[in-house]
A and B are shown apart, each in its own frame.
Chain A
């Protein structure tokens, strides 16, 4: 009598790496740990019900990469994809499923369809995928709020640092400014030139910062995608973020230039020269 050929499963990259499995390998599946009976025989011979689930040998047909699911990040679960009837059989679940996923035709009113399903449903409820996604990504919303708060603190710290450096750089040139004032150059011309200079420094600095940020973003994605084995993008540099960073830097640079230069041009030139 011919034996039925083993069925196939797909496993995810993490499981393949941890169990050192490759396509074509044969593995035995059990719904419960095989060694469950071991404790009965070695330690307590009574009161322990051995598992009755028969083992099933299957072939690894594919190694798959997981989708970008935020709720799965950092959980470290190992996934096996099986045929539905095979899982129902091995788990003793019967003709039951956890959920149905439904793809609708383009242009369909999802709300009406949900109401209709829930009106006639018996023993289950229909939800919009978006609502489930919002609920399962609550963790990431918290992380996002935390990042925003850290971002605000970083901006405050950078502003103080930038202001400090600009004040020092302008103060370093008190003699140049005194000389310019003694030569008859107006206060406003001096202030304007310092603002332009500060703005130029800020723009150059922000270009360098954007390049550094972009490189850091590439590194962060490479590191965490490898660590969590997920295609999720952890850091994205968008044109809006670049625009905000450059504008903020330009504004802070110019403001620091104004503050620093105003202090100096209001001081008499001879005092600046120490006379």
Chain B
């Protein structure tokens, strides 16, 4: 009965209802996007970090992994120190460098990682053969395409290039053995990987026995933060970064987006609330006589309030559902813009749909819409019946 009356009232003022639903939908879409932005970045980054099961990263003291050209000296000694901790299960040292590959008259530059294929956590293997021999190299699709190369091709790869004299240094013939996808690589990045010893042989002798990064996997049940503290105590040349500290650092760097999301999300919630309040207030004022008649024929005050609140509920719920679809479309568009950030890993999503957070936000909007209707509805239901009827008759 209450829903039927609410439906009739909404249909009678069709244009107004459509506009109100549209208003709530836009506010809901904005709110959803901002919730996705506020929580998505952190969750997406966390998923990326834990995707290969490494709990701690070691970078040169005071830096973030691959943030600078700095390296950690004495790979063997550092590995030995790490192995002395029974909570550490696996260690993967990684050396990063730039390479140059001559293709006809031009030079293709790319980044290269020197890894141990048995414990590497930097790429997903797609096809071909991994770097099982010293002359093997794997590359991502972007680099393979740029080189116009195929699996099995032999390439002349150098770690140094002087553009003035057009001479290469640290040059070596490597066979392209496989296609891989670099997990932490940026979308446009040209990347390859070889065994760490191969890269050391090709590079500057001063960079021998050095690593840009260590990835550490801890024993199941061990506390990564305790292991991190232990590492920083025993190896002072490194900054040990656990998943939690990495997320905190990313949070700090991208705090702007989170704050923007909180501000715009709050504004959206307020706009949705104001819209439903205005609508219900105007609607109630307009129907003061109708409400007085209902009260005069014995309809209870609670019944009247419930009917008016039901109108707010319908607008809020329909608007929120429409906003969900609209929000997902705009989130995809906005994510497309932010994913072009230079150097950002391809797998990072700024807008990540998390059902619990999304439904909580839309639920909050619907609840605020319902709450917005309660006061004007109660005020209308409490109007003196005879006086209101007389005023309406005179009008």
Contact = CB atoms under 8 A, between A and B. Distances in A.
Interface string A208-247: 0000000000000000100100000000000000000000
A171 B27 CA distance: 23
Interface string B152-178: 000000000011110000000000000
Contacts of A44: 77, 80-81, 84
Contact of A121 (B164, B333, B337): B164
A1 B255 CA distance: 55
B74 interface: yes
Contact of B163 (A38, A125, A149, A168): A125
Contacts of A138: 342
Nearest to B63: A77
Interface residues of A, number: 47
A33 B237 contact: yes
A145 B337 contact: yes
A33 B162 contact: no
Considering residues A142, A153, A154, A175, which has the most beta carbons from chain B within 10 angstroms of its beta carbon?
A153
Contacts of A153: 26, 29-30, 33, 330
A111 interface: no
B303 interface: no
Contacts of B234: 38-39, 42-43
Interface stretch (B219-227, B275-283, B383-391): B275-283
Interface residues of B, number: 54
A164 interface: yes
Considering residues A33, A163, A168, which has the most beta carbons from chain B within 10 angstroms of its beta carbon?
A168
Contact of A175 (B256, B282, B340, B395): B395
Given A46-B77, A139-B341, A161 B16 contact: no
Contact of A165 (B78, B237, B278): B278
Interface string A149-182: 1100110110011011101110110010000000
Interface string A130-146: 00000000110010011
A35 interface: yes
Given A74-B252, A153-B33, A164-B275, 20 more contacts: A38-B236, A39-B235, A43-B80, A47-B77, A48-B74, A74-B256, A76-B253, A122-B165, A139-B341, A142-B338, A154-B30, A157-B23, A157-B268, A160-B22, A161-B274, A164-B278, A168-B16, A168-B278, A171-B282, A172-B282
Interface of B: 13, 15-16, 19-20, 22-23, 26-27, 29-30, 33, 61, 73-74, 76-78, 80-81, 84, 162-165, 234-237, 252-256, 260, 264, 268, 271, 274-275, 278-279, 282, 285-286, 330, 333-334, 337-338, 340-342, 395
Complex A-B, nearest 10 residue pairs according to Cβ-Cβ distance, in ascending order: A35-B236, A48-B77, A47-B77, A157-B26, A164-B19, A43-B81, A44-B80, A168-B282, A138-B342, A164-B23
